[in-house]
Amino acid sequence: MAADHISQAVIKRLPRYMRFLTELKEEGVERISSRELSDRMQVTASQIRQDLNHFGGFGQQGYGYNVSKLIEEIGRILGLDRPHNLIVVGAGNLGRALAGYGNFTSRGLYIRALFDIAPEKAETEIRGLKVYAMDRLPAYLKENPVDVAVLTIPKENAQAVAGQLYGLGVRAFWNFAHVDLALPEDARVENVYLSESLMQLTYYMNH
């Protein structure tokens, strides 16, 4: 089946497969059966077979899955077979934390610069990355291809900044501001509403 026909539920699970398979590869494991992967991931073996069958015959009876091939194929589906350039808008603690995430770099997701509205942060460096004043955005984007803007700014400014970035050609947004962004249809937005995740926890603690 072509990658375009994979359901959203499967897509949501793919990064998790990536994480476990990458760990296996780091441990030197070259192939793994659906049963072993099932034990490790705490997912049923039949779910694993069903998910991984979506993208071709990597599992062979009596052999299992080739770990490297599977990583490569899932990476291709997730768009990780080419590098992506990211900028972080909002050089506060969260922006700084994300700028230091080694995990992203290993997937070809490179944070290239940070931007901040505070003049005193301009032209400083965070973990080897330049912090620019917001008014440098247009010039920067003209010279540097940017695939994803990471928004770690207060919700009050998020819509205006996202709109500005869209106007300058950015089409993908990883949004940590607690607001739904209104952007044209060809913009992709992935929201991370941290307090919503914490409320899931308080729900389950209290039931």
CA nearest 151: which of 110, 128, 180?
180
By the rule CB under 8 A, 193 interacts with its own copies: yes
When binding is defined by CB under 8 A, the residue of 69, 107, 112, 136 that contacts its own copies is 107
By the rule CB under 8 A, 172 interacts with its own copies: yes
By the rule CB under 8 A, 141 interacts with its own copies: no
By the rule CB under 8 A, 94 interacts with its own copies: yes
By the rule CB under 8 A, 11 interacts with its own copies: yes
The backbone region for 101, taken as left when phi is positive above 0, alpha when psi lies in -120 to 50, beta otherwise, is beta
Cα pseudo-dihedral 143, 99, 12, 185, rounded to 10 = -40
Backbone angles phi, psi at 72, to 5 degrees: -65, -45
By the rule CB under 8 A, 163 interacts with its own copies: no
When binding is defined by CB under 8 A, the residue of 70, 148, 158, 169 that contacts its own copies is 148
CA nearest 91: which of 126, 141, 138?
126
- Cβ atoms of 114 and 131 closer than 8 Å: yes
Residues lying near its own copies in the complex (CB under 8 A) are found at: 3-4, 11-12, 14-16, 18-19, 41-42, 77-80, 84, 92-94, 96-98, 100-101, 103-104, 107, 109, 147-148, 171-172, 174, 178, 180, 188, 190, 192-207
